[in-house]
């Protein structure tokens, strides 16, 4: 059985290994070169020069902070709201099917369209829907993208990823042991007690999965930022991915882009290590 198990794993591990190793090796190689697409043919070795350039960018610290803030906020929002919504729609009620499709739909929208949608139709302080709602309530509309750029991006990204969490939690809840819940209810357990001692532990693993997967995607949020705020004002909504784009891709500097990418990998590993400590034990209960 052992060898069979290994055989089953082989295609996944093998293909991923190739997919990882070749770009990684090339990136490592480029990161120590002076390689600009606009100057092909001149690849001189510059050691840590690219890294130094990337790290000494005045926005570097802010970019890291913004990346982590974005990551933490969206994960928190999607997990908490996701669990609540999944619980809400778990038991049957009229129109359950339609409601589920409606709930999942934001995930279907392309990130660039999502960004444009929010920027123009929702958040514009003059003709956006939110501004109209604010005015109807007698308040001055909030200038979302100028005054709260990072929060605006967080809202957009959370809206897009909430369905992902909801879907996974719904699926997980479907597999819950009904008899256990019934028994607990008969024993007089309140809803809150049922939740704490039966439902939450059951959901623990899927929460862990959602957290880890979202972490991976949220670390490289890019389209929303470039379409709406352009990383600004200042660097208030610049994250590491956007910094790489601005510093490197815009100047077609492959060397610095590679150095930045390696930094992003380091940051990702740190975030992963931290999150694993938080939720990891739930993975293989």
Ranges within 72-131 binding another protein (CB under 8 A)? 85, 88-89, 91, 93-113, 116-122, 124-127, 129
6 binds another protein (CB under 8 A): yes
Triad 153, 156, 161: Cα angle to 5°? 120
Q: Which of 71, 199, 264, 279 binds another protein (CB under 8 A)?
A: 264
For residue 72, the minimal CB distance to another protein (Å) is 17
Q: How far is the CB of 196 from another protein (least distance, A)?
A: 18
> Which residue spans within the chain are E strands per DSSP?
33-34, 44-45
* Contacts with another protein, 176-205, as mask; x by CB under 8 A: -xxx-------------------------x
Stretch that binds another protein, among 70-78, 192-200, 277-285 (CB under 8 A): 277-285
Buried b (16+ CB within 10 A) or exposed e, 53-92: bbeebebbebbbebbbebbebbbebbbeebbebbbebeee
Distance of CA 34 to the CA centre of its chain: 32
The answer to whether residue 277 forms part of the interface with another protein (CB under 8 A) is no
Q: How many CB atoms lie within 10 A of CB 189?
A: 16
Nearest residue to 36 (alpha-carbon basis) of 246, 242, 249: 249
User: According to the binding rule CB under 8 A, does residue 230 interact with another protein?
Assistant: yes
Residue 148 interacting with another protein (CB under 8 A) = no
Q: How far apart are CA 27 and CA 44, in angstroms?
A: 15
Report the alpha-carbon distance of residue 50 to residue 251 in Å, rounded. Answer: 13
| Contacts to another protein from residues 204-223, by CB under 8 A | 205-206, 208-209, 212-213, 216, 219-220, 222-223
# binding residues, another protein (CB under 8 A): 137
In whole angstroms, the minimum distance from the beta carbon of 241 to another protein comes to 5
Token couple for 17? 């290994």
Q: Which is nearer to another protein, 9 or 76 (CB)?
A: 9
């Amino acid at each position: 059985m052992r060898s069979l198990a290994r055989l089953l794993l082989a295609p996944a591990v093998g293909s991923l290994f190739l997919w990882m190793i070749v770009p990684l090796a090339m990136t490592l190689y480029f990161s120590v070169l002076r390689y600009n697409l606009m100057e092909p043919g001149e690849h001189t070795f510059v050691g840590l020069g690219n890294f130094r350039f990337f790290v000494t960018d005045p926005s570097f610290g802010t970019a890291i902070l913004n990346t982590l803030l974005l990551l933490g906020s969206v994960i928190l929002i999607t997990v908490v709201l996701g669990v609540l919504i999944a619980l809400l729609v778990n038991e049957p009620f009229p129109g359950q099917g339609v409601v589920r499709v409606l709930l999942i739909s934001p995930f279907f929208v392309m990130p660039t369209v999502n960004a444009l949608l929010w920027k123009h139709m929702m958040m514009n302080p003059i003709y956006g829907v939110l501004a109209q709602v604010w005015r109807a309530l007698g308040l001055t509309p909030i200038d979302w993208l100028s005054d709260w750029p990072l929060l605006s991006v967080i809202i957009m990204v959370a809206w897009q990823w909430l369905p992902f969490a909801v879907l996974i939690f719904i699926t997980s809840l479907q597999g819950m042991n009904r008899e256990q819940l019934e028994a607990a209810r008969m024993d007089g357990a309140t809803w809150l007690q049922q939740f704490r001692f039966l439902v939450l532990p059951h959901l623990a693993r899927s929460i862990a999965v959602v957290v880890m997967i979202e972490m991976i995607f949220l670390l490289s949020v890019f389209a929303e930022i470039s379409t709406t705020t352009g990383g600004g004002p200042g660097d208030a909504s610049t994250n590491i991915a956007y910094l790489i784009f601005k510093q490197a891709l815009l100047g077609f500097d492959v060397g610095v882009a590679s150095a930045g990418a390696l930094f992003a990998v380091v940051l990702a590993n740190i975030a992963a290590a931290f999150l694993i400590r938080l939720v990891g034990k739930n993975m293989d209960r």
